[in-house]
Chain A
Amino acid sequence: MSEVRIAGVGLTPFGRMPDRTGRDLFAEAGLAALDDAGVAPPTVEHLFFGNFMGELAEHQGHQGPLMAEAVGVNAPATRLETACASSGVAVREAVKTVRNGEADVVLVGGMERMTNMGTAGATDGLSIAADDLYEIRAGMTFPGAYALMATAYFEEYGGSVEDLAHVAVKNHDNALPNEYAQFRNAITVEQALDAPRIADPLGLFDSCPISDGASAAVLVSEEFAEREGLDAAVSVTGSGQGGDKLALHDREWLARSPATEKAAEMAYDDAGIGPDDVDLAEVHDCFTIAEVLAIEALGFYDYGEGVGAARDGETTRDGRLPINVSGGLKAKGHPVGATGVAQIASLTKLLRGTHPRSSDLDDPRVGLAHNAGGTVASATVHVLEVER
């Protein structure tokens, strides 16, 4: 089995770019990743591409071949869709393809165009990650679904909207020097608490923004990296994926994410590590409560213990386990199909020491990326390790 190296990563800035086409967004990120890797586009043997709602956003299906040609790749191209975990799943397929020897050079990425749909249109589009018949037709929205989980969490374990506000404050602060982030403004707990509610108990500052953007990474076999003399110090050493019932009401737990647990267990086993070995993590904080659910399911905290982690300074940059140093989905932005690979891009830079927040960290060696779809009916976890 080949070891999988990350040869290069690339991003567009995330934000409001309603006039830019998906193909142009992905071309920017894909070319940046290939340039970072020092790999020529024709060398790529397969593209795995994540996108959630291109049919709704820009009337475009069959995006794999479109995105391959946008970056000059003449190879088979596969689009994957698992809602907000679309490109996390693309990473997993890319890892498997390199590991099993089917390819030495794979491009993986994702893109979402959302702001051209308007707030109502994007809210409608995002809602289709839930069960159309029994959730959407009962008025559930994407923020509403996480609000249902937040209320269930508070009922079962305690915690408060103020605890959640600390998650938002932390992630905004993390994003301040990140030139790719959508929000680079500090906020206070008071501002978060005073913001209008979207779906009680969640307010505007508990929610990630609606974002446009793209991400890409070049994954290569260790043999290829050595043969070509590539600078590829970061490896993907663990990969896992978990699944659950689509509708929240069909799950055993309303305030836990078993799909994340399963993905984490698989990825830890694969990498031969445990949660205590992780130095920093990028987790799927589409809403503040989602960060809490993630750090518990990943094994960093017992159930019911994660809600105070940001408030207590344990998950800030100088805490025992920095979470979402990039700014997370909350402040970096969440172009949904791009998010999974964007997490890989941020972690790669943090582990290489080339991220604007690298100087704030204590020589991290092991990073974890957690990407979730819907109300976590899909989840992927990847472990990245750097060789020094």
Chain B
Amino acid sequence: MSADDAPREDGFDDLLDAVEDGSGYYCSCENGHGSLPPRRVCPHCGSQALTETSLPDSGRVETFTVVRVATPQFADDVPYVTAVADFGEVRLTGIVDAAPDEVSVGMTVGVSVGRSETTGDRVLTLDPR
């Protein structure tokens, strides 16, 4: 199913819309924990007082892998890099918009929305800065 006829996932698609507009956010609680929407409860402390907080402009790659055997949804994208990046109170998993040999732990990335080359679906993307 391509992005255009897939049903929306409220919370997730709202976040991707916001990232595309350059105004990405995450859910934060009064105890300084971050999480990704949709959330009614902070997964770290149980707080129900969640507010939308702007994602920092840049994060740091904490770990990454070069995926060479993909699920069918990314079959034509291989090889590609999936990374976990630290954005302060929250981490994001995304595909890094760079060649595998250009990615390293500690590199600085921003966040945007790209497209799977296989399905055309939207993908949270980490852009080297």
A129 at the interface (CB under 8 A from B): no
Which residues of A sit under 8 angstroms from B116, Cβ to Cβ? 139
In the complex, identify which listed stretch (B17-25, B49-57, B89-97) lies at the interface while the others stay far away: B89-97
CB contact between B67 and one of A139, A155, A196, A250 (< 8 Å): that residue: A139
Interface residues of B in 1-36 (CB under 8 A from A): 9, 12, 35-36
A to B contact number (C-beta, < 8 Å): 103
Contact present for A134 and B66 (CB under 8 Å): no
Interface residues of B in 91-121 (CB under 8 A from A): 91-95, 100, 105, 116, 121
Contact present for A134 and B93 (CB under 8 Å): yes
A139 in contact with B72 given A133-B9, A249-B93 (CB within 8 Å)? no
Number of B residues, CB within 8 Å of A? 36
Contact present for A155 and B68 (CB under 8 Å): no
Smallest CB gap from B118: residue in A? A139
A58 at the interface (CB under 8 A from B): no
A194 to chain B, nearest CB (A): 15
Contact present for A139 and B105 (CB under 8 Å): no
Contact present for A140 and B72 (CB under 8 Å): no
A121 at the interface (CB under 8 A from B): yes
CB contact between B63 and one of A149, A198, A247 (< 8 Å): that residue: A149
A344 to chain B, nearest CB (A): 31
Contact present for B72 and A133 (CB under 8 Å): no
Smallest CB gap from A120: residue in B? B72
Which residues of A sit under 8 angstroms from B93, Cβ to Cβ? 134-135, 138, 140, 247-249
A121 to chain B, nearest CB (A): 7
Contact present for A250 and B123 (CB under 8 Å): no
Tell me the bound Cα distance from A187 to B95 in angstroms: 34
Hey, what's the 0/1 contact readout for B32-76 against A, CB within 8 Å counting as 1? 000110000001100000000000000000111111111111110
**A residues adjacent to B (C-beta < 8 A):** 119-121, 123-124, 127, 133-141, 143-144, 147-149, 151-152, 155, 196-202, 245, 247-250, 254
**B residues adjacent to A (C-beta < 8 A):** 9, 12, 35-36, 43-44, 62-75, 77, 80, 82-84, 91-95, 100, 105, 116, 121, 123-124
Additional 10 contacts, C-beta under 8 A, given A135-B93, A139-B77, A152-B62: A120-B72, A123-B70, A124-B71, A134-B92, A139-B95, A141-B71, A197-B66, A198-B68, A199-B66, A199-B69
